[in-house]
Structure 1
Amino acid sequence: MRTDGKAFRSGLGRETARQSTDLPGEVVKLTAKPEIGWCFLDWSGAFTGNTNPACVTMNNDKMVSANFAINQYVVVISRNPQNGGVVPGGGKLLSR
């Protein structure tokens, strides 16, 4: 994010369209939108925290990163009836 209005992005998320110039002192709203299978963690760089959306005051050029993580799920397996067989395995299921 720069005061000349040029924004850079990376990672598995999206930025929303904004006006072409951010004036000094202007408050800019940042929204992190993770892709399917990912979740927003936090912001790093010139702005930190996990508030989403976030508001940043433009008093100079800023580099802000939205950090994402892949969704993880815990799978619990049980037998029914209890003496009805064997259920091997374990671990985490990752969304892809």
Structure 2
Amino acid sequence: MVVQYMRRVIEKKAKFDIMKLNCILVAPKTFIPVLFGHASDDKFIQPRHSDLISESYAGDKNIIKFDGDHNSSRPQFFYDSVSIFFYNVLRPPQVSIADKLEKY
């Protein structure tokens, strides 16, 4: 139900159907930084799928593999890597303690 809802929302706003998206064809034309994460024993979406997309991806990329399956808890190092990735990609403004104190 959630996938169908997201499909309609994306189709309406982005004008494409996510069910017709072929990541392998799009990856060589995509330059947005990406972090792939994949469980080594995932049987639902096999690790080779991430490998194929990552190999053909044109932009900055990193792939992290970890033990487990599709529904396993992710290890802490994966969450740390995601946090570092977002920090580096989004580049939040640097605010010093002195700047904060000046406001008070």
TM-score category, normalised to shorter length: under 0.3
Q: Using structure 2 for the length normalisation, give the TM-score.
A: 0.23
- The answer to which structure has the higher helix fraction is 2
- The answer to which structure has the higher strand fraction is 1
Higher relative contact order (CA 8 A, sep 6+): 1
Point out the structure with max Rg over C-alpha: 1
